[in-house]
Structures are given as structure tokens and as C-alpha cells.
Structure 1
Amino acid sequence: MDVSVDYPRRVAMVSLHTSPLATPGVGDAGGLNVYVAEVARRLAERGLHVDVFTRDDGTAPAEVVEVDDNLRVLHVPAGPRGPVAKEDLPDLVPEFSDRLESVASAYDLVHSHYWLSGMVGLALRRSHGLPLVHTMHTMARVKNGSRPSGGVTEPDLRALGESQVVSGAEVLTANTEDEAADLVRAYGARPDQVSVVPPGVDLHTFHPCDQQESRELLGVAQDAQVVLFVGRIQPLKAPDVLIRAVARLLEREPARRRHLRLIVIGSASGPDAGWSGTLAPLAEQLGVGDVVEFRPHAERSELFRYYCVSDVVGVPSYSESFGLVALEAQACGRPVVATDVGGLRHAVRDSHTGRLVDGHDPDDWADMLAEVLDHPAERVRLGANAAAHASRFSWSTTAAATLEAYGDALRVARRRSFITGAWFERGR
């Protein structure tokens, strides 16, 4: 694409707390990492020069990683060169921002991801007048309103920071219309400030596949009934709901034990990291330890095979801004049973590509899983519809919508500069 003057030529993309080079599902890496990596790559393919700035945590192979033509990841020294708990990262925002001050003038626009990066973006907007586009990914006030019982409450500092970012950004991008409404309702965003930019899915990696072949490759019995969970192991993602639902299925029909399997793929994450250690004992306590298999998170090529092995993918999250796992699973032709919350309402079409469950009652989840597992023809129908539905989401489409948001931000910034300049001239 020939980038016109209506669009930025050089973009500083900020992802302070997690690198687009990190493996999703490990630590704090997740859908946000995939989003940043894919959008940055697609924008670079369109001719923009994109530099992604992330904190140097000591895991990068080099200070500057040339990912592709026009795309680099730069690792910024801030705090110790090692892991830092996410709750301690706000203290590092000033140092991170200061490090970018000397290079900020080389860019036309800042695109920040998550509130910590948004605070960096605000600093660069103030000091260099750079237009700011911000993507929340998740919001404190929304998460606190839907967190599981006993779950960690997002701090007031985060909610305050998010409010400041909303007040200062030229454009906010939201995954769905519902998220756009949350920005207006919970943070006072102006409706004309928000652009809806649906995420995509890597359709080259995730696509309809042969279940029998995949089961042979991974040593899974052909007659198994496989429920799959993929994601970070934390209360918000609620893999325990699937363990309880599987236990309910076996209570109702003990004969299922010969065939039923629940595969949980993911790694511990966040301040609740210790919680992951409760899941295996929970499975044993409920009498399903022999049915549940725990695996660490895998590279996407291996993850693709596990989607292919499954009969149904469960996404029992308490909150999701969109639900990338649901989209990846459907791209592989797998029906999804998901909680009827947030972006999952858009990622999964109820009774067409999967089923949505109201709440987290294990009996309700057992009912929905059984509907898919016990009706092969319906499972095939849902899977075919799921693949067609997911095929409409591509990262190229996401990048195109992001580019339009950039154009809007530049126009807003120009109007602001004109008004400020005119007011200054009148004041003289």
C-alpha cells in the first residue's frame, strides 16, 4: 500500500508489560501479545514503519530485533533486567517514558496497548504532541464488575490511569460494540472518540483440519470425547469450571469415563499464579484425576494440532474483551462452548457455531458440553459453521481498520493544533 499523507508513516507502538515476541499462554503473555504482533506485521506490510517498544526483561536475543521489513521490536531498559510482577510495573512507567523521549520525535503517532503503555503514550503526547491511539484490551472497572468470587480486584490506580488515557487519547479502539459502550459508560469516552476494530485470527496457522490424523499424531484414541481448554491458568479464565462440569458428566453417566478426556493447556499467570496448583488436587477430589490432563502452553503450530484433536473447546472466562481462543478453535472447525459475556458474545454465535452459557454453574456447563459431545451430526454442523464464521476475521482486516483509526487520530490532532494555534494568535 502507498501510504498517503492522511496516514502516519512511522508508528511507535508501545507494549510495556509484555513483548509481542513472547509465547502466548506463558506468564502474562496472551491474546494481547498476538494482537500486537499480528497488527504490527500487517501494518508493516502496508508500508508503515512500525517500532514496537517493550520492557527489557532479559529474555530478548538482542536489544533490537528486526522482525520483518519495516518492523522492529526494541527492548527498553526500565527497572531490573528480569521479570517484574505486573502489580509493580506502574513504578517503572516514568523511567520507560524517559527512555523514549530522545527518540519520540522520529514518529508520527503512538499506539499504546494496555493501560501501562497508555500512560507512556500520554507522556509522549504531552512532551512531543504526538497523536495517541490507545487499545485497552481489558478494563479495570469491567473486570472488577465480573470477577470470580475471591478473585483479585484490579487496583484503583489502574482505573485512574485508564481514565486519564481515555481523557487524553485522540482515538480509542475497541474490539466490539459492547466494549465501545463500556468505554463510554465506565470511563466517559466520547462516542466519536471510539473506533471498533475487531481482532483477527491467523488463518494460515488455524484452519479446518483432519481430526483422525491429528489424533494419530498426538496419540489420542479415535473414540475419545475430548474437551479442550486453552489459556492462562488463572481464576478469571476459570478452567476449574470445566473440571467440575466433567465431574458432573461422570456422576450422571459413569460409563463416560472410558471415553471422556479434558485437556487443559496453559501456564500459571499473574498475582494468582499459585492458584494453578489447586487444579490437579481439585480433579482428584472430584474423582476425575484420570480424565483430566494438564499440559504447559505450546507453540501455535502444536496448539493447532490440539484444537484439531478436540471435539469441543470450552472458554469459561468470567471476562473477555474478545476471546482469541474461541476464534482460533472455530477457525479449526471446532464448536465452542463459552460464557455469555463480553466479546465472547461476538466471537461465538450461539446455536450456530457453538453454545453460550449464562454463568458458571457446573451443571449448566455439563448440559452444554453433552449437547455437543453426544450429537455427532450437530457437532459437524456447528464446526462447519464455526470455520465459515472465523474465516471472516483476518488480521489484514484488523490492520486496515487500525489504519483508519490512525487517520482519524491525525485529523483530530491537526484540528487541536489549529484551534490551539488560533487561540494563541488571538491572545497576542
Structure 2
Amino acid sequence: MLSVHTSPLDQPGTGDAGGMNVYVLELSRALARCGAQVEVYTRATSSAQPPVVDAEPGIRVLHVPAGPFEGLDKNDLPGQLCAFTAGVLRAEAHRPEGWYDVVHTHYWLSGQAGWLAAERWDVPLVHTMHTMAKVKNAALAPGDAPEPQGRVIGEEQVVGAADALVASTREEAADLVERYDADPDVVHVVAPGVDLATFTPLAGGAPARRALRARLGLPADRPVVLFAGRVQLLKGPDVLVRALPLLTGGAGGGDGAEPPLLVVLGGASGRPTAVRELEALAHQLGVRDRVLVRPPVPRHELADWYRAADLVAVPSHNESFGLVAAEAQACGTPVVAAAVGGLRTVVVDGVSGVLVPGHRAEAWARALGDLLADPRRRAQLGEGARRASERFSWERAAAAMLDVYEQARKARAARRG
């Protein structure tokens, strides 16, 4: 596997680390449990990183020097693809001939490097987009910068070169065919999974929940809405801040009740000032005391935050899948999500949560307020949320991916013939 711009070992929730990190690591784990040997190449970002990390049995992460260790933005990385690809080819040259059976690349930067490697080694190239420039540019958040044309061209090249393209949802598969002219025969839908052993509902009822909230530093009875993810315009945390002034105390459970608390669990991405800008917006709207910002946390701690929240909000302007929504549902917490991209597949509207059309503060305040004021409905959605999460399994994803690898091998052989 190639994951140029972010390592599966990085903490998701800040910088460029997000759902893709979880995807690469969890898929690798599941493939390893199936007996595969997985080696993940990623760009070294520190001189202190060892060249090779045996992360777990069957999974090896290789850090490839390509450009300066620090100070490179993701948009600067196309200029380092030659150096990165050379490092990958050099590492493989020390292996026995025919060491790799398939190259699986993640995000378009990796696709560019993997394209050359797969040709050099004469093995199939399988590519997962994760996000697509054309889709993102069609649904930009106000004030967000469009993806550059160079990325669009690079994605088109990878789509044309891949022996198999993996989409997380049918909608993403349709985007590949309609927006990128992908051959429908090489597009495969493989839903990501959820770690259903880590993300589980809270046992013990109200006393356990109060104890959990006390441990996390949250008020025992105040309504809590959780946003977990990178703080950037694409993810839409500002939508929730703008909705706060419209949410009164009554939205949380009757007249006189405290107004909801918004917890933002994540770090700045894109702009280093993103968190400060979000806090400044809250101050400007008079709700700074109703926004609690915390840094991202490891996966097992993230599950506790999901369990402690009354609702998890995912107001993204675009999501290829929506891993946060799937994880929150696995914890039995209802999700209020934007009706975009993969979120329309993950969140079953009216069963596991609520889908909100658009990103107007009024619509979000109404959706959040109605649920916060109705504990009975939240409980029903919470039960549906756990059931909905059980559709997604990393074991099923790995089995399906192994089948995709085999189909890609046959497609490459046929094309060569």
C-alpha cells in the first residue's frame, strides 16, 4: 500500500490525518488476519522516525525520505513524488523478484507513485480515491479554496491507469464513472468497516454515563453535541457554532435547562489558525462559553466521547464515506449529518439519525433542538444506530478487497494480452 501524504500511524483528527489513516490501518489489520502480508509506504516527516516499523504481525510501515521532513503542505507534495517513488523502487530492489502481488494506493498522490511502481513490477494497480477534486469543488464550503487543476489532471491519469478502482459507496462509484469517465467494469464498491469491538454502546445506564462524563470533564446533565474531526471548512464545524445561538435551554430538556454544549474534538487542518478562527466566531456570536475545544484522542478514548454525547454532528460539505458517523452509531449515539456523499449511506434517516439538507444554521438548529428536546426519540435512534453500524465490518471489507485484488490481476493480464 502507498499512503504518501499521511501515515496510518499518525493520530487522526489534526493536520492531514483523518479517516484515511484509520481506513489504511484497519484494512491492513483485517487483511493481515486473512493471511496477507501488508507493507505500507509513507513519506517520512521526522528524522526521528525509524525507516521501518513492524506495526503489528503482518503489517510493516516504511518511511520514505522525500523532501524536507517538516514544513511541507499537502499541496507541495506533487513536487516530491519523484523522490518518493524512487525511494519505493529502491526499497523493493532489495527484495526477491516478484515480492509484491498488488499495489493498492490511497489518494491521488499515492496513485501517481503507485502507477509507476505497478508498471515497473508488472503487478495490478488498485486505487482508492478517498476524496475527489471534482466532487469537492462542486460542493465547496463558503470561503474554502478549490482544489487545483493539477490535482484534477492527476486524478484523471490515475483513473485511466488503475486496474481496479475501489469506491466506498455506490454514489462514489457513480462519481468515478460520470465525472472521471472511469470504466464501470473496473469500479468496485467495498464499504469500509467499523471496529465493533472498540466502538460499543455504554453499559450501566444513567449512573455509568454520569461517571463517564465526570471523567471526561463534562457536565452531568447538560445536553452535549459532539463534533469529532479535523477543524477545517470542509468539515463544517462553523455550521454548528452558527446554530448555537438559535438553540435555547429548552432544546435540551425543558424551560430553564442549560443550553447545549458543543464539544469540538479535533485539531487545525489546512490553516494553522483554524481552531482560533472557530473560537473567534463563537465569541463573535456570543456563544464562546458554549463551545469546548479539545485535541484529538486515541481511538479507545474517542469511543468514550461518542458514548458521553447526546448527539454526534457531522456537518461536512462532502464525505466519501463518513467514518465518524459510522463509529458514533456503533456506540449507540444518534447522528445528525449533512445529506451529502457517503453520509447518505451511513446514516439511515429516521432510523439511526437525521440527515439535514444544506448547511443553513436555522435548519441545523431545528434538527439538533428537536432531538435534544425528545429523549425518547433519541433512545429509539440510538438503538437503530447500533443496528445500522453492524452493516460495516473490516472483516467483510478485507474479504471483498482480496476479491478485488484478484479481479484486478485478471484485468491486468487481459489488458496485457
TM-score range, shorter chain: over 0.9
Superposed displacement of residue 110, structure 1: 0.3
Tell me, in whole angstroms, the C-alpha distance in 2 between the residues paired with 1:305 and 1:59: 34
Q: Quote how far apart the aligned CAs of 1:226 are.
A: 0.5
Which residue is 2:173 aligned to?
180
Q: Corresponding residue for 1:366? A: 365
1:132-158 CA distance string (max 9 Å, x none): 000000000000000112211101010
Q: Are positions 1:21 and 2:19 aligned together?
A: no
Deviations 1:269-318 (CA, angstroms, capped at 9, x unpaired)? 12x33233211111111111111111111111221111111000100000
Residue type of the alignment partner of 1:394:
S
**How far, CA to CA, are the matches of 1:195 and 1:288 in structure 2?**
45
Deviation at 1:257, TM superposition (A): 6.5
- In structure 1, runs of 5+ residues without a counterpart are 1-12, 420-428
Q: 2:186 aligns with which of 180, 186, 193?
A: 193
Structure 1: which amino acid aligns with 2:262?
L
Instruction: Report the alpha carbon displacement of residue 93 of structure 1 after superposing the two structures with TM.
Output: 0.5
User: Per-residue CA shift, 1:107-165, capped at 9, x if unaligned?
Assistant: 11100000000001111123232210000000000000001122111010101000000
Matches within 5 A, 1:166-177: 166-177=159-170
What amino acid maps onto 1:216 in structure 2? A
Q: Deviations over 1:327-360 (max 9, x none)?
A: 1110100000000000000010001111000001
C-alpha distance in structure 2 between counterparts of 1:16 and 1:257, whole Å: 48
Tell me, in whole angstroms, the C-alpha distance in 2 between the residues paired with 1:350 and 1:253.
Answer: 21
Q: TM-score, normalised by structure 1?
A: 0.92
| Partner Cα separation in structure 1 for residue 251 and residue 128 of structure 2 | 46
Aligned to 2:409: 410
The residue number in structure 1 matching 2:216 is 218
Residues 264 and 325 of structure 1: is their aligned pair in 2 closer, same or farther, counting only changes over 3 Å? same
Greater shift, 16-25 or 75-84, is seen at 75-84
How far 1:70 sits from its partner (Å)? 1.8
Determine if the alignment matches structure 1 residue 142 to structure 2 residue 138. Answer: no
Partner of 1:128: 121
2:261 alignment partner in structure 1: 261
Unaligned runs of 5+ in 2: 204-208
Q: Is the 8 A contact 1:121 1:132 kept in 2?
A: yes
Contact map agreement 2:251 2:369 (CA 8 A) in 1 = no
Q: Is the 8 A contact 2:5 2:43 kept in 1?
A: yes
Cα distance change of structure 1 residues 59 and 177 upon mapping to structure 2, 3 Å threshold: farther
Quote the Cα distance in structure 1 between the aligned partners of 2:328 and 2:64: 34
Tell me if 1:334 matches 2:333.
Answer: yes
> Deviation at 1:212?
3.0
Selected match of 1:154 from 132, 147, 152:
147
* Alignment match, 2:21: 33
Contact 1:114 1:137 in 2 (8 A): yes
Please name the residue that 1:281 is paired with.
Answer: 280
Which residue matches 2:374? Answer: 375
CA contact (8 A) 1:232 1:266 kept: yes
In the alignment, the residues of structure 1 paired with residue 181 and residue 52 of structure 2 have an alpha-carbon distance, to the nearest angstrom, of 38
Task: Provide the C-alpha distance between the structure 1 equivalents of 2:24 and 2:396, rounded to a whole number of angstroms.
Answer: 14
Give the TM-score normalised by structure 2: 0.94
Displacement of 1:27 in angstroms is 1.0
Deviation at 1:83, TM superposition (A): 4.2
Check the 8 A contact 2:250/2:373 in 1, yes or no.
Answer: no
Output the amino acid matched with 1:393. Answer: F
Q: How many residues are matched?
A: 405
Cα shift at 1:59: 6.8
Cα distance in 2, alignment partners of residues 61 and 98 from structure 1 = 19
- Residue matched to 2:206: none
Distance 2:55 2:112 in 1: 26
Alpha-carbon distance change, 294 to 364 in structure 1, aligned in 2, over 3 angstroms: same
